[in-house]
Structure 1
Amino acid sequence: MDKKEFLKLVTKYNQGTATEEEKSFLNTYDQLFEELENPLDELKAEDKDRLKQNMLNDIKLKMLAEPVPYKESNNWKWIAAAMFIIACSAALFFTMSTTQKQTAEIQEHHTKDTLITPGSNQAVLTLANGKQITLNDKANGLLTEEAGVIISKNEDGLLKYEIAANAEATTHTMSTPRGGQYQLILADGSKVWLNADSKIIFPSRFDGDERKVEIFGEAYFEVAKNKDKPFKVVSNNQIIEVLGTHFNINNYADELAAKTTLLEGSVKISPLVNGTINNTAAKILKPGEQAILNNGESKVKVAQTDLEAAIAWKNGYFRFNKIDMQSMMRQVARWYDVDIEYEGAISKDLFVGNLRRSDDIKEVLHILQLGKINATIKGKTIIISN
């Protein structure tokens, strides 16, 4: 969509003649009001104000019908995206593109055996003796008892550890497949949310003067406070040290960088170079900041970030905030357990929007379709052509 088409859409919206789909599109554009070369810059001030007010009125009407799924946000810009999720259960999008196609399609070629479904709560717990417990089909209650360690699922479905005073510390591993996620309460009371295709290695009890776990993939932590025993997370090429805090780690092997996002408290990010901590390059994060450590580098970059985007997966959503196609589709591939193939040049469009992770894969692909990009489903493979 170029500027001319967009301005026509704005006019229809202000005149009350826009379709529901057109209204939905504009109700997501609030996230891009401050973009450079914004098409809205060509509107008169009164038209721009009227557009924003009309959007707000629509949002308020939706709020009367359904609750807002996000806990934190007094800013109506973020509520706009949330309201559209509830009201439409469809893709939100805006693309900034240099090239356009006239048509875009979503084609399906699969059987019942290869239907693509959203992910669910599923994981495998591996005990120190090699015994594996499949968690997705286990009822709440006691799962196993090993050397004074009682492992159970509580009423909320979280894996919980209860440790006897004389219990031996052993190493356990919990891993999620593609299309899976799970939650865990460690022996110290710290809570961990594990995203799809991820793994955490942790002790059944924390002995010594520190609490240390290892993460592969993505996890969100709510660390129990203990000023005498710092909590440390080792993830690929960095180590994160905290006393008590809420933060998210994204450290997938196929991403270009490890990203640590702080929501509450304080954390220290130290690069690991050949297994050795580089204290001189360490950074301390404040709430609202994200540390980025590019693969193969030892310099930690810190910047303000979109907190909701960082933990949307934990809250049951995808949140795309000016994200490129490949980054977006990597998230989709992990959650829906699909492979992604590209034919032709890869689009340089940026995408904005929110989707429920429980939505059908076609809702996600609708983002591409509206961006004039074709998507074909063949079995468990998504083929994207631009």
Structure 2
Amino acid sequence: MKSDFLKYNLEKLIEDKSFVDWVLKGDKNDVWNAFIEENPGFKPLVEEAREIVLLIKDDSEGLDEQSVLGIWRNIEQFDANNKRQIKKLRIRRSISWAASILLIISLGILGLYEITNEEVYHFAESELNISKDARLVLSTGEEIALTMNESSILLDQKNQQLIVNDSIIDLKSKDGHKVKMNEVIVPKGKRSELLLADGTKVWLNAGSRLAFPSKFSGKRRDVYLEGEACFKVARNKHKPFIVNAGDLDVKVLGTWFDVSAYGSDNKIETVLLEGSVAVSRPTSLGIGKKEYLLKPNQRASFHKENNIIEIEEEYNVQKVISWTKGWYEFSGENVRTILERVERYYNVRFIVPEGLVFTETISGKLDLNDSLKDVIEVLEDVAQIQCRVEGNDIYIGGGK
């Protein structure tokens, strides 16, 4: 069970599909009950959210859990537009009334939704670093180790083949007629490159995973990202390319951009190099979705704690994607941020003594092909710190 649930507010908990699945279908019932028992302070929020989900379900008999999510979001939008707030369960009648109105709207477009909206992919809750090597998990469940530090993957849609470094994998007998997702998992200390079936090039950073189909069918090209990736999207004005990055969707026709969506970070960021992209919060039915258009050299940041998207100028976009070229370039960044990056690149852990606060910002460049020993020497010199290495743990001392 994700500890992130403890940071959720009422809105975010009701919008979480795994929570709705538990309430409506009893999925992972033992896990949820154990989690609530271990975190009693979380129980009141769970009970309130559960009541609202069941209330909407009662007033919307016959709808699945995804539609319940859609109705809740529409109630929320309805309420915001009329400058009202959903209060506690004592105003049950008000919620029922709003749900009834929105049910009519939802039923009117439900058929269209089911036709146009593709099935949402969810990453399994597994440890990224379960293996030292990057790995490709085919839609059949078969795993292929990517033993090179920077493996390359090429999807040949014409011949239905997957070319991994120098190996060829025949997909004809694996996927059948239904389009399913493959997944590339890149642990800390590794990187990978992919060429997707439509010609889109993807650089996948350390500690990341990407889910993608063997071929793009339907009206959209959907991929799913957890971590950081840089995309050079092949242009197709009839079929937008969508990066589903957890709490943020990035939609493009053809462009060059970077997305950073690590689960441990408190924000999701998109930086645009060329073309244009639209970023938005995902919604079940698309009603009330607000899109923010980015121009080249702009950054969109979605702050998870307050659900706010901010747009700002990014004056050095090449610095943002320097990792794709084997460099980590930083300018005016806090030492703690730099250490977190190095942790991902080299699969190590920095242990900072309690009370040591980094207030200074530093600038520089690290060659990611250098040994860890060389990188630590540079950090010690630039950041004025002392490091002691014990296996994968690096202990930080005071100033030099």
TM-score normalised to structure 1 length: 0.61
In the TM superposition, what are the counterparts of 1:137-216 in structure 2 within 5 Å? 149-153=160-164, 168-216=178-226
State how far apart, in whole Å, the 1-side matches of 2:170 and 2:294 are.
Answer: 29
The one-letter code matched in structure 1 to 2:364 is G
Give, in angstroms, the shift of residue 133 of structure 1.
Answer: 0.6
Find the counterpart in structure 2 of residue 284 from structure 1: 293
Decide which of 336, 358, 361 is 1:350's aligned counterpart: 361
Give, in angstroms, the shift of residue 319 of structure 1.
Answer: 0.6
**3-state SS of 1:189 partner:** coil
Given that residues 240 and 270 in structure 1 are in contact (C-alpha distance below 8 angstroms), is that contact kept between their aligned partners in structure 2?
Answer: yes
Give, in angstroms, the shift of residue 308 of structure 1.
Answer: 1.7
State how far apart, in whole Å, the 2-side matches of 1:184 and 1:360 are.
Answer: 25
Deviations 1:70-89 (A, max 9, x none): xxxxxxxxxxxxxxxxxxxx
State how far apart, in whole Å, the 1-side matches of 2:170 and 2:274 are.
Answer: 23
Please identify which structure carries the higher helix content.
Answer: 2
Give, in angstroms, the shift of residue 244 of structure 1.
Answer: 0.4
Whether 2:314 is the aligned partner of 1:302: answer no
Given that residues 227 and 261 in structure 2 are in contact (C-alpha distance below 8 angstroms), is that contact kept between their aligned partners in structure 1?
Answer: yes
Find the counterpart in structure 2 of residue 371 from structure 1: 383
Given that residues 189 and 224 in structure 1 are in contact (C-alpha distance below 8 angstroms), is that contact kept between their aligned partners in structure 2?
Answer: yes
Given that residues 224 and 243 in structure 2 are in contact (C-alpha distance below 8 angstroms), is that contact kept between their aligned partners in structure 1?
Answer: yes
The one-letter code matched in structure 1 to 2:388 is T
Decide which of 393, 396, 399 is 1:381's aligned counterpart: 393
State how far apart, in whole Å, the 1-side matches of 2:152 and 2:295 are.
Answer: 38
In the TM superposition, what are the counterparts of 1:262-281 in structure 2 within 5 Å? 262-272=272-282, 281=290
C-alpha spacing 1:179/1:141, structure 2 compared with 1 (3 Å): closer
**3-state SS of 1:364 partner:** helix
State how far apart, in whole Å, the 2-side matches of 1:200 and 1:225 are.
Answer: 20
Find the counterpart in structure 2 of residue 124 from structure 1: 135
State how far apart, in whole Å, the 2-side matches of 1:271 and 1:193 are.
Answer: 24
Give, in angstroms, the shift of residue 258 of structure 1.
Answer: 0.7
C-alpha spacing 1:279/1:244, structure 2 compared with 1 (3 Å): farther
C-alpha spacing 1:170/1:280, structure 2 compared with 1 (3 Å): closer
State how far apart, in whole Å, the 1-side matches of 2:384 and 2:351 are.
Answer: 17
Given that residues 149 and 167 in structure 1 are in contact (C-alpha distance below 8 angstroms), is that contact kept between their aligned partners in structure 2?
Answer: no
State how far apart, in whole Å, the 1-side matches of 2:330 and 2:170 are.
Answer: 32
C-alpha spacing 1:142/1:185, structure 2 compared with 1 (3 Å): closer
In the TM superposition, what are the counterparts of 1:307-346 in structure 2 within 5 Å? 307-343=317-353, 344-346=355-357
Aligned residues: 262
Give, in angstroms, the shift of residue 122 of structure 1.
Answer: 5.1
Which consecutive residues of structure 2, in runs of 5 or more, have no partner in the other structure?
A: 1-131
Which consecutive residues of structure 1, in runs of 5 or more, have no partner in the other structure?
A: 1-120
State how far apart, in whole Å, the 1-side matches of 2:292 and 2:169 are.
Answer: 32
**3-state SS of 1:334 partner:** helix
Given that residues 172 and 204 in structure 1 are in contact (C-alpha distance below 8 angstroms), is that contact kept between their aligned partners in structure 2?
Answer: yes
Find the counterpart in structure 1 of residue 256 from structure 2: 246
Deviations 1:218-249 (A, max 9, x none): 00101111100000010011101000001000
C-alpha spacing 1:170/1:336, structure 2 compared with 1 (3 Å): same
Given that residues 158 and 183 in structure 1 are in contact (C-alpha distance below 8 angstroms), is that contact kept between their aligned partners in structure 2?
Answer: no
The one-letter code matched in structure 1 to 2:387 is A
Give, in angstroms, the shift of residue 254 of structure 1.
Answer: 1.9
State how far apart, in whole Å, the 2-side matches of 1:159 and 1:246 are.
Answer: 28
Give, in angstroms, the shift of residue 143 of structure 1.
Answer: 10
Given that residues 270 and 277 in structure 1 are in contact (C-alpha distance below 8 angstroms), is that contact kept between their aligned partners in structure 2?
Answer: no
How much is the aligned-residue C-alpha RMSD, in angstroms?
A: 3.4
**3-state SS of 1:214 partner:** strand
Deviations 1:304-327 (A, max 9, x none): 112022101001101111111121
**3-state SS of 1:272 partner:** coil
**3-state SS of 1:300 partner:** strand
C-alpha spacing 1:159/1:268, structure 2 compared with 1 (3 Å): farther
Given that residues 161 and 168 in structure 2 are in contact (C-alpha distance below 8 angstroms), is that contact kept between their aligned partners in structure 1?
Answer: no
The one-letter code matched in structure 1 to 2:383 is G
**3-state SS of 2:359 partner:** coil
The one-letter code matched in structure 2 to 1:268 is A
Given that residues 196 and 334 in structure 1 are in contact (C-alpha distance below 8 angstroms), is that contact kept between their aligned partners in structure 2?
Answer: yes
Whether 2:249 is the aligned partner of 1:233: answer no
Find the counterpart in structure 1 of residue 231 from structure 2: 221
